[in-house]
Chains A and B, each alone.
Chain A
Amino acid sequence: MFSLLQRGQQVSNQAISALSYIAFAIIALFLAQLHFDNAYNLPSQIANIETSTNIRYSYSAGSTSAKGKENSKIKFDIDTDLSSLFNWNTKQVFVYLTATYPGKSPESSNRVTYWDKIITDPKDAKLSLKSVRGKYSVYDREFSFRERNATLALEWNIQPWIGPLVFGTLEGGQGFSFSKPEKPRK
């Protein structure tokens, strides 16, 4: 005789193995479609980068002493089309603008986010932004950015309805240099 428990177990076992096959198929199709839509080699244009640096003294601006901390902000134009990141399994695209710059030693490196955007509707996937200010005031672990060179790049993350999180970087990265801090107002 089959007990209720055994039957329940059999049903759930069937369900679990069926679900895992379906999940596997969904993931494979999703990744294949992104590949064929050329999602990993999308172009972007980042232009008219203006940077400014000032010294701030609040804890939320990274300052832990009376010396303060250099904070960097940027302004930029962006032109890109992220439509091919949207398919039947895309719940949202998180697109973010990062700057990468070297640290003190050759093994060290830093990457910071200046701006990001959540796109949930494929109609909003074409980005054409003029003179946008970054969302974040960025500081380093060191006191100063020391006018180093940095590379700006647009990166994306697809949040699926189900399955793996997918990441990529758009082509068309741009270099810039951190500006000298402005003299504090007296």
Chain B
Amino acid sequence: MTWKGLSIVTNAESPIVVVLTGSMEPAFQRGDLLFLWNRNARNAVGDVVVYNIEGKPIPIVHRVLREHHNDKKQFLLTKGDNNPVDDLGLYKRKQQYLDKDKDIMGTVYGYMPRVGYVTILITENQYFKFGLLGLLALSSLFQRE
């Protein structure tokens, strides 16, 4: 409920995301939480954006390196702070720029360190997942109503 509300207010499909890779280190590390906003008509150079390339499963969090806009459209080139080259190689074949309207899922405006690591543990570490599920099951067995 809160999630859907937040999603509507920010106009971002997922208003809070967890960082999964180290390509923006030292700014963002794995497990950090990012808060997104997607009601801006344009992005500025230096903004950190989350974008999704068609056919690729995981959204990417990188910084805007160049922007070209007119009154209708904006094209962006991005780069990870910790990567040696820009993202041209990450885009689709023959795609030279991101389209602000189509590809950008949100702009990062807020940051909270480490909290999201729980979700990484749950999705990537099966012992942690089953341990957590086991604990929940045990607590429901032992509690008195």
- A residues whose Cβ falls under 8 Å from a Cβ of B: 1, 3-5, 23, 59-60, 62, 64, 91-92, 94, 96, 98, 103-105, 107-113, 116, 118, 120, 136, 138, 140-141, 155, 157, 159-165, 167
Name which residue of chain B comes closest to A27, CB basis: B110
Instruction: Tell me the smallest distance from the CB of A108 to a CB of chain B, in Å.
Output: 4
Instruction: List residues of chain B with CB within 8 A of the CB of A140.
Output: 68
Provide the bound-state CA to CA distance between A8 and B31, in Å. 24
State in angstroms the CA–CA spacing of A167 and B108 once bound together: 12
Given A3-B143, A98-B45 in contact, is the A92-B71 Cβ separation under 8 Å? no
- A110 near B143 (CB under 8 angstroms)? no
A28 to chain B, nearest CB (A): 14
Chain B residues within CB distance 8 Å of chain A:
26-28, 44-48, 63, 65-71, 75, 81, 85-86, 88-89, 94, 96-97, 108-113, 139-140, 142-145
Q: Verify A91–B26 contact, CB threshold 8 A.
A: yes
Instruction: Jot down 23 A-B pairs with beta carbons below 8 A, ordered by A.
Output: A1-B144, A4-B143, A5-B140, A5-B143, A59-B88, A94-B27, A94-B46, A96-B45, A103-B69, A107-B71, A110-B69, A111-B44, A112-B45, A113-B45, A113-B46, A136-B86, A155-B46, A162-B112, A163-B111, A164-B110, A165-B111, A167-B44, A167-B46
Nearest Cβ distance between residue A70 and chain B, in whole angstroms? 14
B45's nearest neighbour on chain A, judged by CB, is A111
A20 to B89, CA, bound (A): 40
Residues from chain B with a CB closer than 8 A to the CB of A116 are 81
Which chain B residues border A107 with CB–CB below 8 Å?
70-71
B71 pairs with A164, CB closer than 8 A: no
How far, in angstroms, from A120 to B66 measured CA to CA in the complex? Answer: 23
Residue of B nearest to A155 (CB): B46
Complex contact B88–A91 (CB within 8 A): no
Contacts of A103 in B (CB 8 A): 68-70
Q: Kindly state the separation between the CA atoms of A157 and B110 in the bound complex, as whole angstroms.
A: 13
Asked if B27 and A159 sit within 8 Å, CB to CB, the answer is yes
| Cα distance, A4 to B144, chains bound together (Å) | 9
Q: Is the CB of A162 within 8 A of B26?
A: no
- Output the nearest chain B residue to A60 by Cβ-Cβ distance: B88
Report yes or no: B139 in contact with A4, Cβ–Cβ below 8 A: yes
Specify the chain B residue showing the minimal Cβ separation from A100. Answer: B45
Residues from chain B with a CB closer than 8 A to the CB of A1 are 144-145
Residue of A nearest to B140 (CB): A5
In the complex the two chains form, what is the Cα distance from A71 to B142 in whole Å?
Answer: 69
Given contacts A113-B65, A155-B45, A165-B48, contact A94 B96 (CB under 8 A): no
User: Which of the listed residues B27, B75, B144, B145 has the most CB atoms from chain A within 10 Å of its own CB?
Assistant: B27
Q: Are the C-beta atoms of A92 and B26 separated by less than 8 Å?
A: yes
The answer to whether A92 and B27 touch (CB under 8 A), given A60-B88, A110-B67, is: yes
Nearest B residue (CB) for A160: B111
Cross-chain contact A141 with B81 (CB below 8 angstroms): no
